[in-house]
Chain A
Amino acid sequence: MRLSRFFLYLVLIIFVLFYLMPVYVLVVTSFKSFKEISLRTMWIPPKEISFSSFVRAWYGDKSKGLRGLSGNFMNSVYLTVPATLISSILGSMNGYVLTKWKFKRANLVFALLLFGMFIPYQSILIPLVQVLQKTKLYGTIPGLILVHCVYGIPITTLIFRNYYSTIPSDIVEAAKIDGAGFVKIFVRVLLPLSGPAFAVTAIWQFTSIWNDFLFGLVVTPNPSVQPITVALNNLAGSYFVEWNVQMAGALITAFPTLIVYIFLGKLFMRGLLSGSLSGM
């Protein structure tokens, strides 16, 4: 029994090393100064801690034509915050109707919505670009906000629908008898109970919009408008950039969602599980 416990922990620890290896490399490399960077020493900790990689990744280096990530970081903030809010609100409205005001064929509508969660976005990219160009939203942050709101509707609706179906319909019926109408029931009865669902949806949407790459790449060709994931890829793809700056850039890009994960891990997890349809 002792021995099997030992192997159990051994396996778990080996996997910890596997999952943390990239983090180790990231941290060790990004705290090195340029003169310490060489592929041969990538696993060796820096001799002295230097923040110069972060400074270069953040502000860039005009003399070398290196764009910093600071502007793109802010682009991602301006994109992610409104898109998260709007898509969460739309999700709560849909969830309310789909659970408490079920109409004929409500399940069909729901299934059609859900399918939108799984489609490869390649199958809508060409018309998307055309429509955004026609409406002058192509290459702009509002354009990206619109895109993320629309393609976020399926998952936010799913989360709120699952949540609202756990709230007994008796409450709604009681409110109706008291003379409350459709809007009043939503605002006075459902919304005050919606905190947990909003938290889960917000975390899910924040993470996936922040981490998106495809829409940013296709919708915003102009580097000054691009979200940070696209900018990171450009940074890492340019020949003049040192590894330490790339790794610092990767850390900066991952930072907000990691913070969310560390501080709101339980809710993050719940978001993941509802995304898996396991709550259906």
Chain B
Amino acid sequence: MKTDRILSILFILPSFILVGIFIYGFIGWTGWVSMVNWRDVFPDFTFVGLRNYARLFQHFRFVISMKNTLVFTVLFLLSSISIGLLLAILLDRKVRFEGFFRTVYLFPMAVSFVVTGVVWRWILNPGTGGESVGLNWMLEKIGLGFLKSGWYTDPNIGIKAVVIAAVWQMSGYVMALYLAGIRSIPTELYEAAQLDGANVFQLYKHIVLPLLRPVTLSAVIILGHISLKIFDLVFAMTGSGIGFSCDVPALFMYDTTFRGNYFSQGAAIAVILLLCVAVLIVPYLTYSIRTEVRR
């Protein structure tokens, strides 16, 4: 019995050590690097306290990238969740070829963000010399020419153009989450509501939507953490854009650290990024594990 206990510890120990070092140890090390004066290829571990953070908040690129992240997150969450919910509700109305629709809506999830970035960079290419190409050409042909835009090359739009590609990739996933949620609602509830004379809209408003609240919470958590750390899509699609109009903290961190060799500044950006994600994730994890234990 005792050997079994020891064996069970030995089983989990490799993962435990690896995660301890590679996640928690490394986070601690990054925190330390963010408070030293390492601004060259060669490490310099002179302690400077929070100076790198103070500098960061005065850095125009950091301010822009944080603002962009906020805009990106809000638009990306709102669009993905509303499209995902709409598609799930529609698909649940006994649609023919449901499998086909689901397959189409979900497939972008299987593709790398880099592929998405490369393809959408082309589709949203505004062209040169006033000639419409890509989506602009398409919009012109179907009589929606007024929607034409410079997309990611227009500093006023910038990051919002990236949202289109991100929604293309992730909204199908939200649909899948909601569809699974809707299908897990017991049919007795529907029947009872119908016996009470509820019409379709009442059914959704009073029964389905309230029961889908936990799904919305999961969707917000998943999309939110993806959104805060988005990197590959922006990197491949636009780079930081004109006047940093497409810049995000993860990209800023990469440039600062691995192109500019300003390691301490990069570490400070990373720590702030981690704190943003932690604010979202830690309460959620604590909550889910507590409720699970109670169950």
Interface residues of A (CB under 8 A from B): 8-9, 11-12, 15-16, 18-22, 25-26, 29, 39-40, 42-43, 90, 93-94, 96-98, 101, 103, 107, 109-116, 118-128, 131, 149-151, 153-154, 157, 181-183, 186, 207, 210-214, 217-218, 229-230, 232-233, 236, 243, 246-247, 249-250, 253-254, 257-258, 260-262, 265, 268-269, 272-273, 275-278, 280
Contact = CB atoms under 8 A, between A and B. Distances in A.
Nearest to B29: A127
B115 A250 contact: yes
A8 B22 contact: no
Contacts of B176: 269, 272-273
B114 A26 contact: no
Nearest to B7: A182
26 contacts: A12-B87, A16-B105, A19-B105, A93-B12, A94-B15, A97-B8, A116-B19, A120-B270, A122-B266, A124-B23, A126-B266, A126-B267, A153-B15, A181-B4, A181-B7, A182-B11, A213-B235, A214-B232, A217-B235, A218-B254, A232-B114, A232-B115, A233-B235, A261-B106, A265-B103, A272-B173
Contact of B122 (A9, A25, A253, A261): A25
Contacts of A211: 111-114
B76 to A, nearest CB: 16
B190 interface: no
Given A120-B277, A121-B229, A268 B110 contact: yes
Contact of B27 (A93, A113, A119): A119
B167 to A, nearest CB: 9
Given A124-B22, A149-B18, A213-B235, 12 more contacts: A8-B93, A12-B90, A22-B116, A39-B133, A42-B122, A90-B14, A109-B16, A123-B27, A126-B267, A182-B3, A246-B122, A258-B110
A124 B4 contact: no
B68 to A, nearest CB: 15
Nearest to B165: A22
B266 A150 contact: no
Nearest to A156: B15
B111 A280 contact: no
The A interface, classified by DSSP as helix, strand, loop or mixed, is: helix
B222 interface: yes
Contacts of A131: 26
B147 interface: no
Given A153-B19, A213-B112, A276-B177, A124 B30 contact: yes
Nearest to A9: B95
A111 B292 CA distance: 12
Contact of A257 (B33, B111, B137): B111
A41 B142 CA distance: 16
Interface in B215-263: 215, 218-219, 221-222, 225, 228-229, 231-232, 235-236, 249-250, 253-254, 257-258, 263
Contacts of A257: 110-112
Contact of A254 (B22, B112, B258, B278): B112
B180 interface: yes
Contacts of A260: 110
A123 B111 contact: no
Most chain A CB neighbours (cut-off 10 Å) among B9, B26, B112, B127: B112
B120 A22 contact: yes
Contacts of A90: 14-15
Most chain A CB neighbours (cut-off 10 Å) among B5, B118, B269, B288: B118
A40 to B, nearest CB: 6
A115 B171 CA distance: 24
Contacts of A29: 122
Given A93-B11, A280-B292, A210 B168 contact: no
